[in-house]
A = this chain, B = another copy of it.
Amino acid sequence: MQRATLEDVATLAGVSIKTVSRVVNREPNVSLSTMERVSKAIKSLNYQPNLSARNLASQRSHLIALVYDDPSTYQMASAGYILEMQEGALRACKNNHYDLLIHPCNYRSDNIKQELLSLVQQVRPDGIILAAPISGKSGVVKSLLATEIPIMLLSPGKKFSGSYSIATNDLEISSTMTLYLASIGHESIAFVAGNSSHRAVSNRLLGYKKALETLQRPLVKNFVFQGDNSVGSGEEAARNLLGLKSPPTAIFAANDDMAIGVMRQARILGLTIPDDLSIAGFDDITLARLVSPTLTTVRQPLAAMAERAAELIMDEKLRRECPELQIVPAELQIRESTRNPN
């Protein structure tokens, strides 16, 4: 199939290629009649602009690169996350005739910087979206900033001026979850903290603490268990917290994996969820809806965040008008694993 070019269209419509280009790009200064003539020619030849040619001439690729930690190195636990981000980014792309290029890369790899630099310089995406935890790697972000394409950081560990950060209100929503547990009658609420290397995760502990302050309750040291984000550490937390002489009636874990560990261990200890113990998590992983009882948790609007990121890349005006840090609020997902105590 021979694809039509601007010139073919121009010849057929009896105008210059520039005029056709104007019509294609919806630029002003075309009379209605010629526009119609050109439109007809475009349709009859089934003309489609060649992206490469357009990119070469205009220095835009109509491509967005989405970069995240390679799930295969993580045993696909993060499948839901990744698809959600892809979905959000794609939604924005489809509305704007952009395409999405995905580029998982190993967080731990040393040459990730070089790898992304190559990606940017060769493919020349119009912007790049970095998902956590890569969005927190200073070296990577900094070297990318030098390429002068818009850098979007999803839930970054820190702020990098020159780039845009899109994050959730981890602290506030964690506070809200804690307050929710209190509101349904829990007097003693424990917290399983996560690996503090991710800034977002440590903010969750701060949210828990803030809620206690709001409630004018003391922070009981024994009620905060330091986990490491793994299911195993959730189990350990449960053994520890439920072994206290006055155990909590609710446990809020900084991520779903740990919450599921808590759930599993609580059941081994003979407790019924949520009758004997309420459990809440954070992240809303796929499994959260599949365990029984289903897990009360916090849902990060990852799709919305990625969509926003993509929109900002595609719209320079929007970008200039918005702050470098934007918050997309998370939401409580109240399910079966929490209810009033006793």
| A123 interface residue (CB < 8 Å to B) | yes
Interface with B: A96-104, A222-230, A325-333, which one?
A: A96-104
| A119 interface residue (CB < 8 Å to B) | yes
- With known contacts A86-B102, A104-B90, A51–B123 Cβ distance under 8 A: yes
| Chain A, 44-99, CB within 8 A of any chain B CB | 48-53, 55-56, 61-63, 71-72, 76, 79-80, 82-83, 86-87, 90, 99
Bound form: Cα–Cα A82–B117 in Å: 27
Bound form: Cα–Cα A203–B313 in Å: 46
| A138 interface residue (CB < 8 Å to B) | no
- With known contacts A53-B56, A100-B101, A148–B1 Cβ distance under 8 A: yes
| A244 interface residue (CB < 8 Å to B) | no
Q: Which residues on B sit within 8 Å (CB–CB) of A286?
A: 76, 79, 286
| A271 interface residue (CB < 8 Å to B) | no
* Partner of A72 from B71, B87, B102, B117 at Cβ < 8 Å: B87
* Partner of A102 from B56, B102, B146 at Cβ < 8 Å: B102
Q: Which residues on B sit within 8 Å (CB–CB) of A117?
A: 48
| A15 interface residue (CB < 8 Å to B) | no
Q: Which residues on B sit within 8 Å (CB–CB) of A119?
A: 99
- Cross-chain pairs A/B with CB under 8 angstroms, 6 sampled: A50-B121, A53-B56, A56-B56, A99-B119, A101-B101, A102-B102
